[in-house]
Amino acid sequence: MTRGTTNPNRLRRCDRWIAGPQAWRLRRSPGPPVVVDLGYGASPTTAVELHDRLSAVRPDVQVVGIEIDPARVAAGKPLERDGLSFRLGGFEVPLDGGARPTVVRAFNVLRQYAEDEVPAAWALVQERLAPDGLLVDGTCDEIGRRAAWVAVDATGPLSLTLSLRMGGLERPSDVAERLPKSLIHRNVPGEPVHEFLADLDRAWARHAPHSSWGARQRFLATAAEVRESWPLLDGPSRWRLGELTVAWSAVAPAGR
Ligand SMILES: C[S@@+](CC[C@H](N)C(=O)[O-])C[C@H]1O[C@@H](n2cnc3c(N)ncnc32)[C@H](O)[C@@H]1O
């Protein structure tokens, strides 16, 4: 258990990705999709926000906040409403009737764990996922300006997404200290994720002249250049938001 900082709107960048490029997972669910906010923290705000945002995609979505800390579950209970509930638990994802979650978002949870504990936590969730289900294991700063997350389905990790507030961004690798636990210790020379961030920084520096049209134009040019040598899975409509997703196979720890 930790202090559990949970600032309102902190996870908006990840919510936007789940409600955007990942919305098909919710839409395809034959019954009401279950989405879990795992380790929602001292305040249930992020679960409430997730429910608000995903209801626009699937009005029947069932968001369940799961916490290991009973006091935090008690804090969530008064906010329960149709489609939003809170319960005690962890990565085993306990749900009524053995329901299988379409999305499990665990933000700023595994960062407190050791790197070698991550695969077991992922595996527990992977076993529970619905057929189109996804685990989103991510990290961000206190107010959600810089975020990074790994998407994992039943077969294994699929992608790494970086999402950055472009105003005031010095360089894309500013996100390095917010990498998920599976990558944060790998941001060293010789590791693919380090090369990826270095290439992003080089392209960002080269496209400095685009700044006169705004940071967004600079980010778009940076991503377009990086796509020449890295398998980016998205395009300009996401890059415009300061978001960029790369195939996990390209940035996975060396030797894995
Ligand atoms: C730093 S807070 C993050 C809160 C929120 N997700 C956010 O990003 O703002 C981490 C939370 O994860 C919870 N936690 C840690 N291990 C957990 C586990 N195995 N299962 C469920 N919750 C866990 C802690 O109790 C804490 O409230």
Taking the domains of the chain in order of start, what are their residue ranges?
Answer: 12-154, 172-251
Ligand 1 center–CA 76 separation, angstroms: 14
pLDDT band for 213, please (50, 70, 90 cuts). confident
- Of the candidates 122, 54, 119, the one whose C-alpha atom is nearest the C-alpha of residue 90 is 122
Residue 224 banded pLDDT, cuts 50, 70, 90: very high
**Average pLDDT rounded to a whole number, residues 201-214:** 91
Q: Which residue has the higher pLDDT, 175 or 167?
A: 175
Q: Give the pLDDT score at 1.
A: 44
Mean pLDDT in residue range 196-205: 98
Task: Indicate if the pLDDT at residue 98 is higher than 80.
Answer: yes
- Tell me which residue has its CA closest to atom 13 in ligand 1: 39
The arithmetic mean of pLDDT across residues 96-112, rounded, is 96
Closest Cα to residue 172, out of 190, 160, 159, 181?
160
Q: In this model, does residue 67 exceed pLDDT 90?
A: yes
* Sign of the C-alpha dihedral computed for residues 152, 153, 155 and 158 taken in this order: negative
Alpha carbons 7 and 1: distance in angstroms, whole number: 17
Residue 256, C-beta contacts closer than 8 angstroms, at least 6 positions apart: none
The arithmetic mean of pLDDT across residues 190-217, rounded, is 94
In the chain, what is the straight-line distance between the N-terminal and C-terminal CA atoms, in Å?
30
Read off the pLDDT of each residue in 236-244 and give the average, rounded to a whole number: 98
Instruction: Fold for 12-154, please state it.
Output: Rossmann fold (3.40.50)
What is the gyration radius of the CA atoms in the chain, in angstroms?
Answer: 18
Question: 4 pLDDT exceeds 80?
Answer: no
With a cut of 80, say whether residue 222 has pLDDT above it: yes
- The average pLDDT across 143-148 equals 96
Mean pLDDT, the chain, whole residue set: 95
**How confident is residue 206, by pLDDT bands cut at 50, 70 and 90?**
very high
Q: What is the Å distance from ligand 1's center to 15 Cα?
A: 17
Q: In this structure, which amino acid lies at residue 12?
A: R
Residues with CB under 6 A from ligand 1: 1-2, 4-6, 10-11, 38-41, 46, 66-69, 72, 90-91, 107-109
| CA dist., res. 248 & res. 229, Å (int) | 14
* 149, 136 contact by CB (below 8 A): yes
Q: How confident is the model at residue 3 (pLDDT cuts 50, 70, 90)?
A: low
Q: What is the pTM of this model?
A: 0.96
**Residue-level pLDDT at 16:** 98
- DSSP sequence for 120-136: HHHHHHHHH--TT-EEE
